[in-house]
Amino acid sequence: MPREAAAEPLPPTSRSVEPEVGSLAQTITTSLEDAKAEDIVSIDLRGKTTLADLMVIATGRSNVHVGAIADRLLKAFKAGGLAAPRIEGLPHGDWVLLDANDAIVHIFRPEVRKFYNLEKMWGADRPGEKRPAKAS
């Protein structure tokens, strides 16, 4: 029997990752808003680290609220057909971390968020970088 020729591999596609990150960011933001998370901040990490492209920080009013926000976000990922994020801190509810590869979500109780102040750490310029001056 003659062997059939192997199928030619498909050429690589050139597509931007940005629409995927945008869709992921929209899913995260919508879920956080629906769960009544407070003080939602998104930090663009592209060019700052290889950990992720986006960091989202939000606050829940209590341990129970933090857990409920995280649970709702997990359900949003599942409903959107997204891979389930790795999750840390859910049993305690002081600080829950969801690692969704391209996005990292931190959900804090207010005093824990204030203590760690991640916005200052990750939102600040790296040495040698300057933000554009604001017009007066």
Query: For the domain that residue 80 is a member of, what is the CATH number?
Result: 3.30.460.10
Q: Is residue 90 part of a domain?
A: yes
Q: Which residues contact 100 (CB under 8 A, 6 or more apart)?
A: 24, 28, 52, 77, 82, 83, 85
Residue 86: domain span = 20-118
Q: Is residue 44 part of a domain?
A: yes
Q: Is residue 92 part of a domain?
A: yes
The mean pLDDT of 26-43, rounded to a whole number, is: 94
Looking at residue 71, its pLDDT comes to 95
Q: What are 79-109's pLDDT values in tens digits?
A: 988 888 999 999 988 999 999 888 999 999 9
Q: Is residue 94 part of a domain?
A: yes
Instruction: Report whether pLDDT(41) > 80.
Output: yes
Q: Is residue 10 part of a domain?
A: no
Q: Is residue 132 part of a domain?
A: no
Are 28 and 21 in contact by the 8 Å Cβ rule? The answer is: no
Question: What is the pTM assigned to this prediction?
Answer: 0.74
Question: In degrees, to the nearest 5, what angle opens at C-alpha 49 toward C-alphas 43 and 53?
Answer: 50
Q: Is residue 123 part of a domain?
A: no
Looking at residue 128, its pLDDT comes to 45
Strand partners, 55: 43, 104
* 3-class secondary-structure state, position 129: coil
The mean pLDDT of 104-131, rounded to a whole number, is: 78
Are 42 and 26 in contact by the 8 Å Cβ rule? The answer is: no
The lowest-confidence range among 34-38, 45-49, 89-93, 113-117 is: 45-49
Q: Is residue 125 part of a domain?
A: no
106 or 131: whose pLDDT is higher?
106
Q: Is 123 exposed, middle or buried (0-12, 13-18, 19+ CB in 10 A)?
A: middle
How many domains are there within the chain? 1
Instruction: Report whether pLDDT(5) > 90.
Output: no
